[in-house]
Amino acid sequence: MNCRKGYLFQTLFILLLVLSTGTTLSAQHEFLYGDQLPDAPELSARGEHTIGVRTMNLVHKDQVDILNSKEGKDPLYDRPLTVEIWYPAEVAAGTEASVTYEEVMGTRGDSLRPLVPFTFKGRAIRDAKPKSAVGKFPLVIVSHGYVGSRYLMTYLTENLASKGYVVVSIDHTDSTFKDANAFHSTLLNRAKDIKFVLNEMAGLNGDALTEIIDADNTGIVGYSMGGYGVLNVGGAGYSDGAAGFFVQMTGGSTAINSLAASNAEYQKSIDPRIKAIVAFAPWGMARGVWDAEGLKGLKKPTLFIAGSQDDISGYEKGIKAIYEGAINADRYLLTYIDARHNVAPNPPPAESLAPGLPIDEYYRYADATWDQRKINNVNQHFVTAFLGTHLKNQDHSTFLDVPANSNEKDWPGFKPRSSTGMELLKADGLK
């Protein structure tokens, strides 16, 4: 009987030990957006810097109030913009980098998709002191899709900041989950917002971030409508057909003409501080936003990232057509074979799995074929290589000059058998 009691006690002790150890291990290995999977490529790893994050509210004064334009007359208003800024931070050794982001699902004004608040964790420290002792860091500006938010790509914004960039992600007014409005506001304001934020970051006065931002060395990153915007900022002027459509859409406004390739002043506005562009699934080509002449104006090095089955921006007549038409730009096209449009966002939040929600809330983030965490890791790898090349003069040719078809041979930086289902095309600009 004593033996039996001893056996039972021993068994119970082992069970409790296993359970407690499992809980500890689970806590230690909590997966947050942007963390590496076991098969993550080399450059997806976080960098050496602990990062801070802060929110800043900006106002772009005297902008066209396109939502209230009538009969070709454009009133003006002060346009509010909220940005989130990630940056290398000065923190004590052993300080845990943890932050909670507040986000929503759904779309304002859509009765079928009501706004649902949720939170998710990140690896940053809210309002930490910027790391000024090591000099300045290149600036990266990030522009989300329609609809979206400044938190849509935290896996990438945090990752880049940890590698020595100041990353500024924009909440585009009239284009977020919380304030979605008529589409012509996004068409007009996307590129204008990006330019304004660049100027604001360059002109910060009396702010601690001033000491660490190298705005003369800027990269711009955009997804979907953000891709539409960054390409225009980089030199791809909109077609006259697109400008004409905008006139019809707005009842006579010609406000977008300043962004058209045919406007002599447009090319003069291309900012030399911008050194590189990353365009995830850029929208517009399949809708006539660009023509051959407009695409010739893009001369900045550009990394395009797309899904071969993109059903929003289009692939062959959309993203790939932009890549092929931008003949004056040194450029890459990374394609996830059989992926659709969602090649840029964070993975789906747990709240999107709740029963009864429209599946579109899940598909706001997820891809039907690919693991979103895998896409995130691959994006981190290639964006790091591309921006490091053009903003930091790092030699990442090993990771960028790879066989076009990833199925033929393992790509450098990828673990054996992990670089499947992708294509990377490269073309030099004619200039």
pLDDT at 28: 55
pLDDT exceeds 70 at position 67: yes
Mean pLDDT of 328-345: 98
23 and 150 inside one domain: no
Token duo for residue 96: 């845990």
414 and 380 inside one domain: yes
Rounded distance between C-alpha atoms, residue 226 and residue 2, angstroms: 72
User: Mind listing the pLDDT tens digit for each residue in 109-141?
Assistant: 888 888 999 999 999 999 999 999 889 999 999
Least confident of 109-113, 343-347, 363-367, 424-428: 109-113
Mean pLDDT of 335-361: 94
pLDDT at 3: 46
What is the Cα 26 distance to its own chain's centre? 29
pLDDT at 133: 81
Which residue, 172, 202, 186, is CA-closest to 274?
Answer: 202
pLDDT exceeds 80 at position 322: yes
Residue 20's H or E segment, with its range, is: helix 2-28
State the pLDDT confidence band at 18, using cuts at 50, 70 and 90: very low
67 and 172 inside one domain: yes
DSSP string computed for 278-322: EEES---GGGTS--HHHHHT--S-EEEEEETT-SSS-IIIIIHHH
Residue 378, CB half-sphere, CA atoms under 13 Å: how many? 27
Token duo for residue 256: 């977008």
What pTM, to 2 d.p., does this model score?
Answer: 0.93
Mean pLDDT of 337-359: 94
74 and 25 inside one domain: no
pLDDT at 15: 42
Could you give the C-alpha distances from 230 to 194, 280, 365, 404, in angstroms and in order? 7, 10, 21, 25
pLDDT exceeds 60 at position 289: yes
Q: Is 283 helix (H, G, I), strand (E, B) or coil?
A: coil
pLDDT exceeds 70 at position 308: yes
Of the chain, the percentage scoring pLDDT greater than 70 comes to 93
User: Mind listing the pLDDT tens digit for each residue in 218-271?
Assistant: 999 999 999 999 999 999 999 999 999 999 999 999 999 999 999 999 999 999
- Tokens 């304001």 appear where? 189
365 and 321 inside one domain: yes
Pairing mode, strands 99-105 and 166-171:
unpaired
Mean pLDDT of 343-348: 98
pLDDT at 110: 87
82 and 3 inside one domain: no
9 and 68 inside one domain: no
User: Mind listing the pLDDT tens digit for each residue in 376-399?
Assistant: 999 999 999 999 999 999 999 999
pLDDT exceeds 70 at position 81: yes
CB 236 within 8 A of CB 326: yes
**126, amino acid identity:** R
24 and 70 inside one domain: no
DSSP string computed for 377-409: HHHHHHHHHHHHHHHS----HHHHS--SBTTTS
- Tokens 């409790």 appear where? 16
178 and 193 inside one domain: yes
117 and 42 inside one domain: yes
The residue range of the domain holding 20 is 1-30
Q: Identify which has the larger pLDDT, 1 or 114.
A: 114
pLDDT at 336: 98
Q: Identify which has the larger pLDDT, 21 or 322.
A: 322
User: Mind listing the pLDDT tens digit for each residue in 142-159?
Assistant: 999 999 999 999 999 999
pLDDT exceeds 70 at position 2: no
Name residues whose C-beta falls within 8 Å of residue 398's C-beta, 6 or more positions apart in sequence.
412, 413
**DSSP-H helix ranges across 145-224:** 154-162, 183-202
| Sequence-ordered strand ranges (E) for 172-298 | 213-223, 274-280
- Structurally, the chain folds into a number of domains equal to 2
CB 120 within 8 A of CB 110: no
Least confident of 18-27, 151-160, 287-296: 18-27
Of the chain, the percentage scoring pLDDT greater than 90 comes to 88
Q: Identify which has the larger pLDDT, 5 or 298.
A: 298
Pairing mode, strands 213-223 and 116-122:
unpaired
CATH number at residue 226: 3.40.50.1820
365 and 295 inside one domain: yes
pLDDT at 10: 52
165 and 282 inside one domain: yes
